[in-house]
Amino acid sequence: MKIAVLLAQNHQVTAVDVAKERVDMINALKCPIVDAELETFLSDKPLKLRATLDAEAAYSDAEFVIIATPTDYDTDTNYFDTSSVEAVIDQVSAVNPAATIVIKSTIPVGFVQRLRAERGINTLMFSPEFLREGQALYDNLHPSRIIVGSQSEAEAIKLFANTYLAMRVAFFNELDSYAMAGGMEARQIIAGTGHDPRIGNHYNNPFFGYGGYCLPKDTKQLLANYSEVPQNLIRAIVDANHTRKDFLADQIIAKAPNVVGIYRLVMKAGSDNFRRSSIQGIMKRIKAKGIKVVVFEPVLQQDDFFGSAVVRDLETFKQVSDVIVANRLTDEIRDVESKIFTRDLSGTD
């Protein structure tokens, strides 16, 4: 969506989607996701943009086709599920073999080279995205770097970049776990560590684990790409995420609550995306011990989330919860701070 809006400032863009609801929203210039900049562009900018369900018609006269379909990690094959990407490539090749195909979806190392050889497509390339939740359009408008490649290096850059970020999150999470276990003030240790200019005071606020859509799957894919290469660190990054969630869940369970409230499923402020958010891992571990869990999440439409009741009234949620688990501390729950379990030390994402 953000790429379509970005390019539609100066080019005729057709956005292809599988959901009629999203197509209708885009054609009505309404934003289908939470992204302040995207909402502003759709409402205020003159855009050459339309959306359609008819993929074949959209591809047939396109000079460039940009693929941004999901590639979830398949734990059975230890490989990204690239079937949606390959399906689009085959569709485009069938109706418009001259089109340049640019993959934005995260893919395994060697994917483009393999597809080029198997399909005989010389116009296929990869250009990875490096975006933050809720600020995707801004990051596309002001990119820190632009990488385009038809060899494996571009794919490796994407996976290594995200794995490094996961490593940094895991490091400060383990620092925080150590401080908790030893009765020390994690905030002071983090601040003092960050005064070293080689480390810096950024991206150092503890989480319940690294989560979201990209970091968990990208670290696992990179680990799978290392299957024939000696390594210790990549495996440790992946394992550290499970260890962190186990440790924090045990801290909550030790409080012997009857009801645990999960305050927001989203990973970051200003986002409506909670795919694989780390707090869900905490939630599952608590439920596995037979403790009742309720959820407060305004973006949820259903009354049940994986067997836990969704409580829509915040005051009711506060009252029924003995412990409130919050990935990020906000002003609307500070009045029940004595109930809150969080590792948010600085209020940053």
Question: How far is the CA of 187 from the CAs of 141, 172, 229, in angstroms?
Answer: 34, 10, 37
Rounded CA-CA distance 125/272 in Å is 30
234, 162 Cβ separation under 8 angstroms: no
Rounded CA-CA distance 160/167 in Å is 10
214 is catalytic: yes
One of 103, 214, 293, 326 is an active-site residue; which one?
214
Rounded CA-CA distance 221/237 in Å is 12
11, 48 Cβ separation under 8 angstroms: yes
Give helix 186-194 / helix 152-182 axis angle, nearest 10°.
140
67, 85 Cβ separation under 8 angstroms: yes
Question: How far is the CA of 150 from the CAs of 84, 221, 229, in angstroms?
Answer: 19, 19, 23
Q: Which of 232, 270, 255 is nearest to 341 (CA)?
A: 255
Catalytic positions, written as ranges: 214
